[in-house]
Amino acid sequence: MFSKVLIANRGEIAVRIMRSCEELGIATVAVYSELDRDAVHVKRADEAYLLGPGPAAESYLAVDKLIDAVQRSGAEAVHPGYGFLAENAAFAAALEKAEITFIGPPASAIDAMGSKTKARELMQKAGVPIVPGTTEPVEAIEHAQRVIADTIGYPVAVKAAGGGGGKGFRVALDESKLKDAFEGAAREGEKFFGDATVYLERYLPDPRHVEVQVLADTHGNVIHLGERDCSLQRRHQKLIEEAPAPAVDEALRAKIGKIATDAAAAVKYTGAGTIEGLLQDGEYFFLEMNTRVQVEHCVTEMVTGIDIVKEGIRVAAGEPLSISQDELELRGHAIECRINAEDASKNFAPAPGKIGDYREPAGPGVRVDSGVTSGSEISPMYDPMVAKLIVWDVDREQATARMLRALGEYEIEDLKTLIPFHTAILQTRQWHDAETCRDLIEDKAWLKELAFPKAEKPAADAEETAEPVEQSYTVEVSGKRFDVKVIGAPLAAGTLNGATPAPVEAAAATRRAPRRSDRAAAGGGRGGDTLSSPLQGTVLKVAVEKGTEVEEGALVAVIEAMKMENEITAHKAGVVSELPIAVGASVATGDTLAVISSAQ
């Protein structure tokens, strides 16, 4: 076994990996950017090395700096986590050359699965069912038209060969939409992966996203740990995951498990990996393989009792897997909610900021994987996911009740997170019936109900400096009279407790008593005609001009922040009278994006 491992990542996954290392008696090495000097993962590690400035290209993606840190620390192996360099075959090869162990699959397996067309061809040869379509790149639109007419038919999915996780994925419902889809997928492939190559798949109208966790060692053992359902997604970002999948019974589990282990064996996979697929009407199709530990690995850990990260480390050290397929047992049900710094009511706009008071839920069957604490700064530079809340219980219904209880316990002050969104969605009939909830996630009106109450005016730092006082009030709640005693900071002159509206709207929307964490931070205000930016980022697209007449909800601009594209829509109908933004410009939270005057 290794004696020291460097974790080439940040946030919750870096902490998660350190936990497994500690249990295995392995010393941990953190790396960090200048923005992460005070981050939880840095303090947690036995030692830590500064990589460079905040931008990932100068820190978490800087291969030379990472290898230098490995050599200075004397670590024998590197765990990449997910994101950053986790699926970079060149990084795995560079480590190999420097005689450092990469805790992950061989570079050849990363490479084989990295090209989606190559992966589809390999899987087809291995007898793994793929979504019907092409395994060769489709060079030109005329070529695509021919293949669609001859074999696939409409609707058709156009996907970037270098893509994955939905990047570079467009749908053409009929021939008239093919050109846009083809060009869109190619453009996105070029932008994100430097590869404009696209391929075609039959578009499945209402599949479930079902993926299988696999583990493989260097002794020829390849096993699967059952499946996860990750159908609840928004713009290809998973939001809630669960295991087992509601639509999978034991017979289907055995069938898709074999598909997954066949797929892994075909690329001589080792370590932890995931076969992603689509399930429709009991039929399973391979989509792609993620050659890394995934965000949602935790739900599988909860129902199998297996530490997936630990198994990956054991495999990299040359040890055999600690369990066999026959020994594996699934028990109960697990659900994971991603706690992102995002505002669901504003199109899931990133909501970076500094966390105030912070308190994680606990109690039976509750697990929190987080990388933050009180005072942590969520930077727009990195992923908006700050924590994962995972629960286990004996069945899906009880796990849902437990998740709602845990979400209610979670206190994250001064930061807008998806907690109200999760709380609302888990109480819907659609979730109860195990539907994919696609209708709700696209429902602008429903999401708007999740709006955070306006931030309260800070009472001139009174809370920090003043002694708490006791004050008595008489209040009426739904016409019933109560005498209440309030113990806390004295109120600023001229304001009574109710001077700012109480967060009843949010409470109604989330159907539970208002919690402290609901009273979140200031955000992009939308006062009168001014449409101000709810986030800090870069303007990617401006969809209107001065003088354009817009409907409420019409696209005004696209702003990139925390690696996500965010559509900013008109807050009211009217005419764009001012437009102080341009493509490429940086905007701060609260900056005016447009002024929309009411049409006469």
Residues of this chain that interact with ligand MV4 (CB under 6 A) are: 131, 157, 165-166, 169, 201-204, 207-209, 231, 233, 236, 278, 436
Q: Considering beta carbons, is residue 435 or 578 the nearer one to ligand MV4?
A: 435
Query: Which amino acid is residue 19, in one-letter code?
Result: R
Which residue in this structure is represented by tokens 């905040």? 54
Q: Considering beta carbons, is residue 202 or 526 the nearer one to ligand MV4?
A: 202
Judged by DSSP in three states, 516 sits in: helix
Q: Considering beta carbons, is residue 205 or 479 the nearer one to ligand MV4?
A: 205
Q: Considering beta carbons, is residue 91 or 203 the nearer one to ligand MV4?
A: 203
Q: Name the pairing type of β-strands 77-79 and 101-102.
A: parallel
Q: Considering beta carbons, is residue 202 or 454 the nearer one to ligand MV4?
A: 202
Which residue in this structure is represented by tokens 């994919």? 436
Closest CB 197 distance from ligand MV4, rounded Å: 17
Closest CB 539 distance from ligand MV4, rounded Å: 26
Nearest 5 degrees, angle CA 22-CA 26-CA 28?
80
Asked if 158 and 172 touch (Cβ cutoff 8 Å), the reply is: yes
Closest CB 207 distance from ligand MV4, rounded Å: 5
Q: Considering beta carbons, is residue 231 or 274 the nearer one to ligand MV4?
A: 231
Q: Where are the alpha helices (DSSP H) in 474-545?
A: 504-510
Structure tokens at 407: 């979400």
Other CB atoms closer than 10 Å to residue 178's CB: what's the count?
20
Q: Considering beta carbons, is residue 157 or 267 the nearer one to ligand MV4?
A: 157
Structure tokens at 18: 């350190």
Closest CB 340 distance from ligand MV4, rounded Å: 16
Query: Which amino acid is residue 224, in one-letter code?
Result: H
Sign of the alpha-carbon dihedral angle for 147, 152, 156, 158: negative
Closest CB 509 distance from ligand MV4, rounded Å: 24
- What's phi and psi for 556, nearest 5 deg? -105, -45
Closest CB 241 distance from ligand MV4, rounded Å: 11
Closest CB 475 distance from ligand MV4, rounded Å: 46
Closest CB 208 distance from ligand MV4, rounded Å: 6
Q: Considering beta carbons, is residue 158 or 381 the nearer one to ligand MV4?
A: 158
Q: Is the bond into 458 cis (omega within 30 degrees of 0)?
A: no
Closest CB 244 distance from ligand MV4, rounded Å: 16
Q: Considering beta carbons, is residue 100 or 247 the nearer one to ligand MV4?
A: 247
Structure tokens at 65: 């700096």
Closest CB 286 distance from ligand MV4, rounded Å: 11
- What's phi and psi for 84, nearest 5 deg? 40, -115
Structure tokens at 263: 């797929």
Q: Where are the alpha helices (DSSP H) in 486-555?
A: 504-510
Cα 414 to Cα 412: distance, rounded to the nearest angstrom: 7
Judged by DSSP in three states, 431 sits in: helix
DSSP 479-493: TEEEEEEEEESPPPT
Q: Considering beta carbons, is residue 165 or 590 the nearer one to ligand MV4?
A: 165
Q: Is the bond into 155 cis (omega within 30 degrees of 0)?
A: yes
